[in-house]
Amino acid sequence: MTTPTKIIFDTDPGIDDAMALLFIEASPALDLIAVTTIFGNSDIDTTTRNALYLKRRFGLKAPVYKGTDKPLVRPRNPSPTFVHGENGLGDVELTGLVPEQPEAKPAHQAIIDLARQYPGEVVLCAVGPLTNLALALQADPEVASLLKSVVIMGGAFGVAGKPGNVTPVAEANIWNDPEAADQVFTAPWKLTAVSLDVTTQVVMSPAYMDALAAGGSDAGGFLNAISKPYAAFYGGRDGIVGCCVHDAAAVAFVIDPTLFTVRRGSVRVVTEGIALGQTCQKAEGELFGPSAWDDQPIQAATIAVDGERLLKLYAETMTAKHG
């Protein structure tokens, strides 16, 4: 048995965030050492409350650190309540909810401190807007060399799947803070973007979610319940039967990168104009004249996925933990 990988989960819970968080907690391959929260699917107070609720309800040991409440330079976009509900978790009743407080330290400082405490050991998995990561880079640029790697759920490269989900060319996490995203993609750490190119190709069907709940566990039942409004949104907008595996796909990459095919190259994010939030990769080895992609770090973007294996990994991991 190999030593579990230490992971910080930067998240804006969020229905698919909850699916991913419980996946991390259930996986013997991962050691969750912190949850850091960010605005996105809801405002920062709601996402932090949801993280604390999930921690208490499902017995997570990791501390929760509250992140920033707004993007680096622009106003916060309205919360997508039509996707995640007013409470961020599909408006299911949050049974046993009690007021709790996160750790006193801000999220970006927690990221820095944990990277320094465990140099070369920590994977930072970020599935919301990337503002906490940008703030960590600004406060301590060395954090880029101290983390083992960064895996984000974000971006869309137009190779497969959907080229955007909030505009024709932009994915929500990047669009919510494009300036932060550009800083994160151009930082000298090892980064992989698990993009809409793959996440929109993997769907948890109603039957799949019912099977997760069939074991009778609280986790399976909860995930099945919150998946229903999420699936209704996808069905109404995209004609999908079920819900796309967005954030849990990023966790799956940390557990088993062989599920994915990646393309390597420098990535820039559009920060103004009609293509705001678009992620643009210059594939490694392509030759052009001088451009904004020159002399930037080579990062990875997912362009294909073995969806069947990914769904099998998720179901087996959850069932083994929760029965």
Catalytic residue positions?
12, 246
Decide the pairing of beta strands 149-153 and 5-11: unpaired
3-state secondary structure labels for all residues of the chain: CCCCEEEEEEECCCHHHHHHHHHHHHCCCEEEEEEEECCCCCCHHHHHHHHHHHHHHCCCCCCEECCCCCCCCCCCCCCCHHHHCCCCCCCCCCCCCCCCCCECCCHHHHHHHHHHHCCCCEEEEECCCCHHHHHHHHHCCCHHHHCCEEEEECCCCCCCCCCCCCCCCCCHHHHHCHHHHHHHHCCCCCEEEECHHHHCCCEECHHHHHHHHHCCCHHHHHHHHHHHHHHHHHHHHHCCCCEECCHHHHHHHHHCHHHEEEEEEEEEECCCCCCCCCEEEEECCCCCCCCCCCCCCCEEEEEEECHHHHHHHHHHHHHHHHC
Q: Cα 277 from chain centroid?
A: 16
Q: Cα 12 from chain centroid?
A: 8
Give 264's strand partners. Answer: 300
6 token code pair: 């230490």
